[in-house]
Structure 1
Amino acid sequence: MASTTSLEGSVPSVAPSPGRTSIAALLPSRSPKLVVGLAIAGVIIAWAIVGPFLVRDPNAISTDWFAHPSAAHWLGTNQTGQDVWSQLAYGTRGSLIIGFVVGIIATVFSGVFGVLGGYIGGAVDEGFALFTNVVLVIPGLPLVIVIGNYVPQNHRGLLLIALVLTITSWAGSARVLRAVTLSLRNRDYVAASRVSGEKTWRILVVEILPNLVPVMASQFVFAIIFAILGEAGLSFLGLGANGTFTLGTMLFQAYNDLALTQGAWWWFVPPGLMIALFGAALSLINFSIDEIINPKLRNSTRAARRKWGLTAAQIHRLEQENLK
């Protein structure tokens, strides 16, 4: 949620160069935040891809109930003797599938309704803006709960849950993209492209979209975080995906079967920690992207790096000068 606030607050300070933006300028500078975020996210994504091929069947039932973590079961077992480590591998994959599907679809929707409508203007822009505002004012969580409750349980797959979450995750991003596009379409280089007779699609792809890449990347990252947390919330309410494992369904089953009362911390702590770690990793990546969107944030970060690169005596001298 914090990244949305920083995005909306930074719209006036989005200041693309007066000409075409180079690819190098669109990439986040290498910083400790970016390196740590990419490292954590990369390990979790790799585990979600490879993990299910390396573990046993997560549905296999045994008589080893509520077994503590051991060499036989790295994260113990649940009340039916199912291996929690195996469920964590499949659950991580399921949650990431939902997260990335929602991120991609929400980014496409926000691009169509925000960028296309903002550039074309007129009745198209008014219609897109009206529809976006209607979606934006609808309470998100109640709508998701109603839709999830309306769908029969045996039809709640990963993709359907992703589509349900997408409905409430694109409108805010579309408003931000529309505001930036309205500013960009009045730039001199865009006007020159229109006067020279370039087609609308080429102006959008070559002149407008490169300047929106940092904003859209930040919105894509936030949409993934929203989707994973939203799926966990739906699953905790019993409205999650059926017949498959996600981090949310693991938490729901642990809560339903009184894992906390039984002292089976190994059942609910790992999925919760996985959600927290992946969310933290994406937040660190988003902070690096925000440094591109907000020039003031980028300058303050560089100043802080220069300060921490000084010796203790130099820092003390600067503090004394600031006191004066």
Structure 2
Amino acid sequence: MESCDVFFKGAYAFFYGNPPAILGTLLLSMVFAGALFANALAPYPPEKRVARPHQAPSADHIMGTTRSGRDVYSQVLHGARKTLSVSIIAGLIAMTLAVTVGVSAGYFGGKIDERLNFLTNVFLVFPQLPLLIVLAAFLGQVGSVVITILLGVTSWPWGARVIRAQTMAIRNKEFILSSEAMGESKTRIILVEILPNLVSIVFGGFLGAVIYAMGSEAGLGFLGLGDATEVSWGSMLYWAQTSSALYTGAWWEMMVPALALAITGGALALINMSIDQVSNPKLRTGPHIKLWKKLKKAVDKRRGLM
């Protein structure tokens, strides 16, 4: 019960006086709800022809139809599943690598830091999106699994740099030195002492990786380097471009997936901004900082620090 009380107080402190968090969470919840309940919300199968080509938005098809007569509303709901799954899994892969490399380099130092830092710099030298385009073009039309792996293994260096710097900043703090003096294992020090102090940075980096992966997936799909038979926001843009939707006046075929990408990316950016407002003391102002001080006092008391 005490843990739940701290959690709800933390959630209240996070959202109160933090408009970006409220708006971002609301928008993202709507997107996730649409993806999760796509089968119930979509009136037609996304790959089935159900009307005349390029039919304008109407009561029967609220977002119009594509050149092949498919319902755009049904496609954008089902496409959210593919795009979000690729983006989130790629973000998890990227941040797992970033945390592993960054914390190891920052904590162990010496030869390990030199080698891992060299590896990070090698990946940073190559521009990520052109590298993805070259790899995807070399492999031919690739499915969502390959795109997810490509995005995950090429998106970690920036996060690793930030995590390494932060780990080095707390490496010689008193609580780390005390843990080492008491003979605690390095694994426990990393998991229990260091990682909890990096939560906001890791989560913020994860959101940034998801935004990047979502844009890259859409870009690869738009260029025709993804699997055009899979329904995603990227493949929707590809088919809209192939059918010259804007030139023929069927603006909805291009605008709907583009707006879906913009709204989802904007929601993630707002949440990322709200995390900065909470985790960075310089950004806490007004009633928000008072609530956060109360929460910190409760957590410290529970840990026996006061």
**TM-score (normalised: structure 2):** 0.86
1:38 matches 2:49 = no
Q: 1:92-121 CA distances to partner (integer Å, 9 max, x unpaired)?
A: 111101110111001100000001221122
Q: For residues 5-16 of structure 1, what are the structure 2 equivalents within 5 Å?
A: none
Q: Which position in structure 1 is the counterpart of 2:73?
A: 85
Match of 1:69 in 2: 57
Q: Which residue of 1 aligns with 2:198?
A: 212
Residue in structure 2 matched with residue 148 of structure 1 by the alignment: 136
Choose from 73, 86, 90 the match for 1:102: 90
Question: In the alignment, which of 121, 125, 144 is matched to residue 137 of structure 1?
Answer: 125
Contact kept? 2:54, 2:64, Cα under 8 Å? yes
Match of 2:14 in 1: 29
Find the aligned partners of 1:24 and 1:54 in 2 and give their Cα distance: 31
Structure 1 residues 102 and 70: CA distance shift in structure 2, 3 A: same
The one-character-per-residue Cα deviations of 1:64-92 (angstroms, maximum 9, x if unpaired) are: 12112222222111111111111111111
CA distance in 2, matches of 1:191, 1:24: 33
State whether residues 67 and 77 of structure 1, in contact with CA within 8 Å, keep that contact through their aligned partners in structure 2.
yes
Q: 1:1-324 to 2 correspondence within 5 Å?
A: 29-30=14-15, 31-55=18-42, 56-62=44-50, 64-153=52-141, 156-299=142-285
How far off is 1:234 after superposition?
1.2
Q: In 2, distance between residues paired with 1:259 and 1:216?
A: 40
Report the secondary structure of 1:95's partner residue.
helix
How far apart are residue 62 of structure 1 and its match?
A: 4.4
Gaps of 5+ in 1: 1-21, 304-324
| Structure 2 portions without partners, runs of 5+ | 1-5, 290-306
* Pairwise CA distance, 1:207: 0.6
Cα pair 2:34 2:41 within 8 Å, conserved: no
After superposition, the Cα gap between the structure-2 partners of 1:62 and 1:33, relative to the gap in structure 1 and judged at 3 Å, is closer
Find the aligned partners of 2:75 and 2:198 in 1 and give their Cα distance: 39
> Is contact 2:93-2:153 (8 Å) kept?
no
Query: Given residue 189 of structure 1, which amino acid in structure 2 is its aligned partner?
Result: F
Distance across 1 between alignment mates of 2:181 and 2:89: 39
Q: Distance in 2 between matches of 1:63 and 1:239?
A: 28
Which amino acid letter does the alignment assign opposite residue 178 of structure 1? R
For 1:67 and 1:251, how far apart are their aligned partners in 2?
17
Instruction: Give 2:26's aligned amino acid.
Output: A
Change (3 A) 1:144 1:300: farther
* In 2, Cα distance between equivalents of 1:152 and 1:230: 16
Asked if 2 retains the 8 angstrom alpha-carbon contact of 1:26 and 1:213, the reply is no
Deviation of 1:24 (Å): 9.0
Moved over 3 A (4+): 22-28, 299-303
1:311 corresponds to: none
Report the Cα distance in structure 2 between the residues aligned to 1:143 and 1:175, rounded to whole angstroms: 20
- Give the number of aligned pairs: 280
Distance 1:142 1:292, change over 3 A: same
Output the CA distance in 2 between the equivalents of 1:52 and 1:164.
29
Give percent identity, aligned residues only: 39
Which residue in the other structure is 1:9 paired with? none
> Normalising by structure 1, what TM-score?
0.81
Amino acid at match of 2:79: G
* Partner Cα separation in structure 2 for residue 80 and residue 244 of structure 1: 15
Amino acid at match of 2:220: L
Structure 2 counterpart of 1:84, which letter? V
Contact 1:136 1:168 in 2 (8 A): no
